[in-house]
Chains A and B, each alone.
Chain A
Amino acid sequence: MSAFLDMGGYAAYVWPSYAVTLAVIALNIVWAQRLLKRSRKEALRRLTIGGTEA
């Protein structure tokens, strides 16, 4: 296990690379869901003010 974590001496480069990439993946999930939620909330608000019927 410690050999795995050591990454043949490259641990200081390999693990931060994976951490940054996985963080970017996680952030993208959060950002996308937040955008959709906010758009829904704003659309609902517009509805209550009264939009144009089509």
Chain B
Amino acid sequence: MAWTWFHRLASPPHIYRVAGRLTPWLAWPAAALIVAGLIGGLVLAPPDYQQGDGYRIIYVHAPSAWMSLLVYSTMAVAAAIGLIWRMKVAHAVAASCAPIGASFTFAALVTGSLWGAPMWGTYWQWDPRLTSELILLFLYFGYMGLRSAFDDVQRADRVSAVLAVVGVVNVPIIHYSVTWWNSLHQAPSVMRLGEPTMPPSMLVPLLMMLLGFTLFFGALLLVRVRGEVLSRERTASWIREALQP
């Protein structure tokens, strides 16, 4: 039957074991890429002709902002799968995403603010991009607050999943905000149709950071999902198997 592999794949003991084995394969490349990206962005990339060295904030700002959207999208898809197919593992993934996404959204807002101060002359502006990103932070907080309001994990999973799915409308709004409205924020320079607007010496470190952050998210997710799966599990036999070396 075509479904047997799927059920085995989604079974908690399998997820727990495979996630544990997979973690270093994502974590170490992530660390290597982030270190290389930091060196490339801070040292090797030339200064910008307009913004001088100030533009180097992009190497932490853009990957953080990318994470804020990638993590939310992952959370919403996992929550939807959990709601539709009543899959515990999917809910575990969604619950794992929230703190990661919230923290990187915070980083995106703070680094953006620090970039805006010298370039726009203000730390904050109620601009479409900035406002929608702040709403994203509140969505993450709302999701986590809602979860913590329930003692029963199953109920927390279902109720919070609805919020996660509804809130996903904010993701395209954030992405297209700079195109739809007049925004202080610059238009996309990497994720656009056609050629990126940067020379390779600037672009390569940025791509390394973007990939490094993405792999880092994968590694964090694996560690967190193991914890979330374990806390949802009541079957003694495999917990014993999983925990005893």
Contact = CB atoms under 8 A, between A and B. Distances in A.
Interface in B208-245: 216, 220, 223-224, 226-228, 230-231, 233-240, 242-243
Contact of A32 (B47, B61, B64, B220): B220
B181 to A, nearest CB: 25
B236 A38 contact: no
B contact patch SS = helix
A contact patch SS = helix
Interface residues of B, number: 45
Given A35-B223, A43-B231, A21 B52 contact: no
Contacts, number: 123
A47 B240 contact: yes
Q: Could you say which interface size class chain A belongs to?
A: 35 or more
Top 5 A-B residue pairs of the complex, sorted by shortest distance between their CB atoms: A51-B236, A8-B53, A39-B227, A10-B54, A21-B60
Interface of A: 4, 7-10, 13-14, 16-18, 20-22, 24-25, 27-29, 31-33, 35-40, 42-44, 46-47, 50-54
